[in-house]
Amino acid sequence: MVGSKEAYQLHAFFFPLMAHGHLIPAIAMARLFSSRGFKVTIITTPLNARLFSHTIDGDKQLGLDISFQLIQFPSEEAGLPQGCENASSIHNFSDVAPKFFKALDLLQQPFENLLQEHLPDFVVADMFFPWVTDVAAKFGIPRLIFHGTGFFSLCVSDSLIRYNPHGNIKSETERFVLPGLPDQIELMRSQLPDLQKIPSELGKLFERVGESEGRSYGVLVNSFYELEPGYVDHYRKIMGRKAWHIGPVSLRNRDITDKEQRHGCLSWLDSKKPNSVLYVCFGSMAPFTAQQLLEIAMGLEASGQPFIWVLRLKGEEAEQRSRMPDGFEERIEGRGLIIRDWAPQVLILDHPAVGGFMTHCGWNSTMESVSAGVAKITWPMFAEQFHNEKLVTQVLKVGVSVGAQDYQEVVGEKRVVKREDIKKVVQQLMVGGEEAEQLRSRARELKEMARTVFEEGGSSYADLTALIEEMRLHPRPRV
User: Which of these is catalytic: 59, 121, 126, 158?
Assistant: 126
* Selection from 191, 172, 129 nearest residue 383 by Cα: 191
CA distance 195 to 204: 9
Pairing of strands 376-378, 186-188: unpaired
CA distance 341 to 382: 22
DSSP 189-245: GGGS-GGGTS--HHHHHHHHHHHHHHHSSEEEES--TTTSHHHHHIIIIIS---EEE
Q: Is 126 a catalytic residue?
A: yes
**What is the number of other CB atoms lying within 10 angstroms of the CB of residue 312?**
18
User: Quick check: helix, strand or coil at residue 361?
Assistant: coil
Residues 349-388: b if buried by 16+ CB within 10 A, e if exposed: bbbebbbbbbbbbbbbbbbbbbbbbbbbbbbbbbbbbbbb
Question: 316: exposed, middle or buried (C-beta count within 10 Å: 0-12, 13-18, 19+)?
Answer: exposed
Q: Measured at the alpha carbon of residue 464, what is the angle toward residues 460 and 467, in degrees to the nearest 5?
A: 140
User: Which of these is catalytic: 22, 166, 351, 387?
Assistant: 22
List residues with catalytic annotation.
22, 126
